[in-house]
Copies of this chain bind each other. A is one copy, B any other.
């Protein structure tokens, strides 16, 4: 045991809650290959190195364990319950992100990492279902005061696609008319002279985000009553 200190120290780890939306809201989990919780599913994460910030450690662990790189992780909360790890005292700094659905199939080591619908989760190792719960709450609160969709939708999209994005995150159906009215009131959508193509139903109008207005609203916040 080569590292000695005058006072005892908890170990420090990071955990990553990475959400993606396709038909519903999904979260990225890895299957544990080690005790404790061998064979259980867990959030990607691991111990923080001595020469890296927790931000860097989270990105590194996420890439090592799932192949996902360049994810915009935001710090969520630090979890420090004394018994949260049965081996020893481990305090974990949790991060979260919402990524493009395209990433769902790309780059992950399939033997180890998998997307799960948040509505159909396996039992999770450690306190990871509590961490996931806090992340979900944060994500759902966030879409009420910041616009989302810029990085998640294609460049041109229908209002139906936008509504389905919100519905997947919120986990409930939204009233079409109220949603559209509330969203249009934000003045961040540009209506295009273009309809969607190659659909069997009546084609819907396409929109795109007004980039500058969108970024302004991200900064400034609002209250989206949905």
Contact = CB atoms under 8 A, between A and B. Distances in A.
Number of copies: 2
Interface in A123-164: 141, 144-145
A2 to B, nearest CB: 8
Contacts of A51: 82
Contacts of A223: 145, 221-223
Given A78-B75, A89-B50, A144-B221, A1 B6 contact: yes
Interface centre among A7, A55, A75, A77 (most CB of B within 10 A): A7
Interface in A67-126: 75, 77-78, 80-82, 89, 91, 93
Interface stretch (A8-16, A18-26, A37-45, A188-196): A8-16
Interface centre among A4, A9, A52 (most CB of B within 10 A): A9
Contacts of A3: 4-9
A145 to B, nearest CB: 6
Given A9-B12, A12-B9, A221-B223, A54 B91 contact: yes
Nearest to A10: B12
A75 to B, nearest CB: 6
Interface of A: 1-12, 47-48, 50-55, 75, 77-78, 80-82, 89, 91, 93, 141, 144-145, 221-223
Closest 4 CB pairs of A and B: A223-B223, A1-B4, A9-B9, A54-B80
